[in-house]
Every structure is written in C-alpha cells, then in structure tokens.
Amino acid sequence: MAKQYWLMKSEPDVYSIDDLAREKKTYWDGVRNYQARNFMRDKMKIGDGIFYYHSNAEPSGIAGIAKVASQSYPDPSQFDPKDVHYDPDSKKDSPVWYLVDIQFVQKFPKLLPLEALKGVKGLEKMPLLQRGQRLSVQPVSESEWKMILKLANVKD
DNA sequence: GCCAACGTTGGC
DNA sequence: GCCAACGTTGGC
C-alpha cells in the first residue's frame, strides 16, 4: 500500500500544532462525521502524511506536518457520559466512532495561509478549497502534497 | 459576531 | 422517504 496523504483540521484555540509539537503524539478524538470517520477507520495507514490545518484562526491555514501513528481504534470519548463527545447510541461491542493516533513531524517555518492556496494551479480540486466544504478529515493527492510542501518551503 | 452552507434529526 | 427545522462549521 503506497503512502497516502491527508489534511486534518483543528482549531488552534483548542489544540494547535504547538500543542502537538510539545506532546509529540495525540489521539484525534471527537470526530462525529461519518465521512471523516470512514477515512480514519478504513483508509489511514501508519506512516501516512498529514497536513495539520488551523481552522477558525487568524489566519487559517496549514501549520505543519504530522503523520498517522496507529491503526484506527474506537474513540474512547464516545463511551464517556461526562465527555462532550459522548454518544449514547454507541455500544462497546459495536462502536460507531473511530480515531487514529497522530505524531508530530514538523511545523512550517511560516503558516501557509488558506489565502495562499487559492488560485494555485493544481490545487483547485482540493476539498479544502471547495465552497462550503467543512469536512475535518480530507484526502490529499500526492501531487497536491508535493506542491504544498514547495509553497511552504519545506522538505518532507 | 455574522451568516452561508452543510449534515442530521424528526414529524409526517 | 421527504423535507423543514435545527445545530454546527468555519471564513470573513
């Protein structure tokens, strides 16, 4: 299986790339969208590349790189009645929500703002740039991955 | 803080 | 199964 690439959104006020850089590794809990879950549960493989995207930020944009650090497993927060992500419909023997661990790779020297991605030839198909797109876990093609690394002035 | 766009819920 | 109402996302 060839290496695949992803983009994952996080609000930096909640958990930023600096938080990830400090902790080195975290688990991506709280995703409650089926499409995003399916990518994590069915598609992600250890070692896949992840663009770490800051949403609801000033400015919003890609902040750096992480990588998938585990197979998918059930999101523990769905079983915890005290957790905001608690899902009373989910049962332990048939969990609804899955997540993966992600590991810090590098922070971009400068955040690559969303604005800088718009209008770039070769990136126009990215879900991120589609009007109204809110998916928090998205696939990125290899060519998009390489172009963005170039724009950010970093090597993989 | 506003609001457009979207996904989900629930009445019918 | 339709679709209006609602809650959420996320750029601005």
DSSP letter at A90 equals -
Cα–Cα distances in Å, from A36 out to A106, A112, A131? 23, 23, 18
Average pLDDT over residues A30-37: 95
Average pLDDT over residues A6-20: 96
Residues 53-72 of A with CB under 7 A from strand C: 55-57, 60
Residues 82-141 of A with CB under 7 A from strand C: 114-115, 134-136
Any long-range contacts for A122-128 (C-beta under 8 Å, 24+ apart)? A122/A147, A123/A147, A123/A148, A126/A7, A128/A7, A128/A53
Closest Cα to residue A45, out of A101, A96, A7?
A: A101
Q: What is the pLDDT at residue A3?
A: 94
CA dihedral A123, A126, A131, A137 (to 10 degrees): -150
Which pair of tokens denotes residue A84?
């905001």
Nucleotides of C under 7 A from a protein CB: 8-12
- Distance (Å) from CA A98 to C1' C3? 30
What digits encode the pLDDT tens for the residues A38-79? 999 999 999 999 999 999 999 999 999 999 999 999 999 999
Rounded-to-integer distance, Cα A150 and Cα A31, Å: 30
| Exposure string for A65-97, b = 16+ CB within 10 A, e = fewer | bbbbbeebebbebbbeeeeeeebeeeeeeebeb
Is residue A70 within 8 Å of A46, Cβ to Cβ? yes
* Prior bond of A113 cis (ω within 30°): no
What digits encode the pLDDT tens for the residues A106-151? 999 999 999 999 999 999 999 999 988 999 999 999 999 999 999 9
- Alpha carbon A22 to its chain centroid, in Å, reads 17
